[in-house]
Amino acid sequence: MKPIRVGLLGIGTVGAGTFNVLKRNQEEIRRRAGRGIEIVMVADLDTARATELTGGQCEVVNDANLVVDNPDIDIVVELIGGYGIAKTLVLKAIANGKHVVTANKALLALHGTEIFRAAQEKGVMVAFEAAVAGGIPIIKALREGLSANRIEWVAGIINGTTNFILSEMRDQGLDFDTVLKEAQRLGYAEADPTFDIEGVDAAHKATLMSAIAFGIPVQFDRAHVEGITKLSATDIRYAEQLGYRIKLLGIARRTAAGIELRVHPTLIPARRLIANVEGAMNAVLVQGDAVGATLYYGKGAGAEPTASAVIADLVDITRLATADPEHRVPHLAFQPDAMSDIPVLPMSEVTTSYYLRVCVADQLGVLADITRVLADATISIDAMLQKEPDEGKDHTDIILLTHQTQEKNVDAAIARIEALPTVQGKVTRIRLEQLA
């Protein structure tokens, strides 16, 4: 059978990785796919670099429209990123009847509904394994491997850049900006690294996982997004003393009232496997009613790990290209006419545990005042740490871990605690998950 013909849009970090792995392992991949998979055309703004990277083995153009309009191309691989030109090109490729592979979580988290609908109507596939957790086949696991289960929750370290920053800051004592620059140099960070450090990239990925896990539309606009920029070394230290690690987690959880969809720094018991995922590694923990907990671990970013996922999608499409569209795996795991309208909950309705750090004057009755406020708000205390004031200081930190409660109870309690005359400044609140 003649090889399937691929057009590559963007030959940057992931594009170059994809070109190299496909070339290096072409024989193995052909034996798996049943036919060869060849990149025959590459579009990139820097054509000189693209020509050098591809060694003159395929046509290089600087106008990506030439690729998506080329009738000889079967599959378009979009590795440009962002939701500007990438969206136009993906929709045009679909309209031209081409299957699409993309690593672009931002595009799908914001415009997935439109893109998947267009693909459905045209009978083509849009595959996006690389969009979540880089080289870890988590999309395939959720969509196919766990399809017997009612998924209860998914929680993951799904941004390599922030995990790398947190690990290096803790282990090497390096400062935030130095580690971020290193993550950029290693090709982990997004074109705009604020997407990484402010939790947006993780929220894109959590949004995609929530859709596949629960059969709901992609709803990035309903996600709660909080990054690591406000996290202080003090809280990382206190968390360690209490037996916890702080990780940026993406969480999607099914509750009776709706879906929790949130990204924020989270205390996790240090003894959990996932708490020990370091550097740019990713890990996703999935709780299914039949299988129980399963954990997926691996490289979440970088050229070849991400290429591994891109090429797995190419193999899948090559195998299924001739299958009747009605009998392919649905883009979002559930059949398009069987999606659920269960709502995504506002953050005030989310239930979790909390780490609270309160800076107080070293005076009689301060702790009693705080615990009374918490009791009034029906918040039960799980653990507490009170430090002696530093030499010459008249204030100190009280750290409280709470049992599970609704976020709105904690909002109300924090407002009352901050109004106490003995409390200095803002209360630091970090959410805590046992992930048991």
> Among 187, 217, 269, 330, which residue sits at the site for ligand NDP (rule: CB under 6 A)?
187
Catalytic residue, chosen from 105, 140, 205, 299, is 205
Residue position matching structure tokens 């969480």: 251
CB of 163 to ligand NDP, least distance (A): 13
Q: For residue 245, give the H/E element and its range.
A: strand 244-254
Q: Tell me which residue has its CB nearest to ligand NDP.
A: 12
Instruction: Rank residues 18 and 428 by Cβ distance to ligand HSE and give the closer one.
Output: 18
SS3 430: strand
| By CB under 6 A, residue 250 contacts ligand HSE | no
Site string for ligand HSE, 201-230 (x = CB under 6 A): x-----------------------------
Q: Are strands 381-386 and 423-432 parallel, antiparallel or unpaired?
A: unpaired
Residue of 312, 332, 308, 10 whose CA lies nearest to 134: 308
| By CB under 6 A, residue 301 contacts ligand HSE | yes
Site string for ligand NDP, 157-186 (x = CB under 6 A): ------------------------------
Residue of 431, 359, 357, 434 whose CA lies nearest to 390: 359
Is 205 designated active site? yes
Contact residues for 326 (Cβ-Cβ < 8 A; gap 6+): none
β-partners of residue 8 are: 42, 77
Site string for ligand NDP, 65-94 (x = CB under 6 A): --------------xxx---x---------
Please give the Cα distance from 10 to 44 (Å, whole number).
Answer: 5
| By CB under 6 A, residue 189 contacts ligand HSE | yes
Helix, strand, coil fractions of the chain, as percent rounded to 5: 40, 25, 35
Q: For residue 157, give the H/E element and its range.
A: strand 151-157
Interface stretch with ligand HSE, choices 25-33, 182-190, 257-265, 353-361 (CB under 6 A): 182-190
Q: For residue 374, give the H/E element and its range.
A: helix 366-376
Number of residues that bind ligand HSE (CB under 6 A): 11
Its sign, for the CA torsion 340, 341, 347, 352, is negative
CB of 199 to ligand HSE, least distance (A): 11
> Among 40, 64, 139, 202, which residue sits at the site for ligand NDP (rule: CB under 6 A)?
64
| By CB under 6 A, residue 11 contacts ligand NDP | yes
Instruction: Rank residues 80 and 370 by Cβ distance to ligand NDP and give the closer one.
Output: 80
| By CB under 6 A, residue 188 contacts ligand HSE | yes
| By CB under 6 A, residue 288 contacts ligand HSE | no
Residue position matching structure tokens 């920029």: 229
Q: For residue 126, give the H/E element and its range.
A: strand 126-127
- Contact between 356 and 376 under an 8 Å Cβ cutoff? The reply is no
Please give the Cα distance from 413 to 374 (Å, whole number).
Answer: 6
**Residues in contact with ligand NDP by the rule CB under 6 A:** 9-15, 43-46, 64, 79-81, 85, 103-104, 130, 134, 187-188, 190-191, 301-302, 306
**Residues in contact with ligand HSE by the rule CB under 6 A:** 134, 159-161, 188-190, 196, 201, 300-301
**What residues are annotated to the active site?**
205
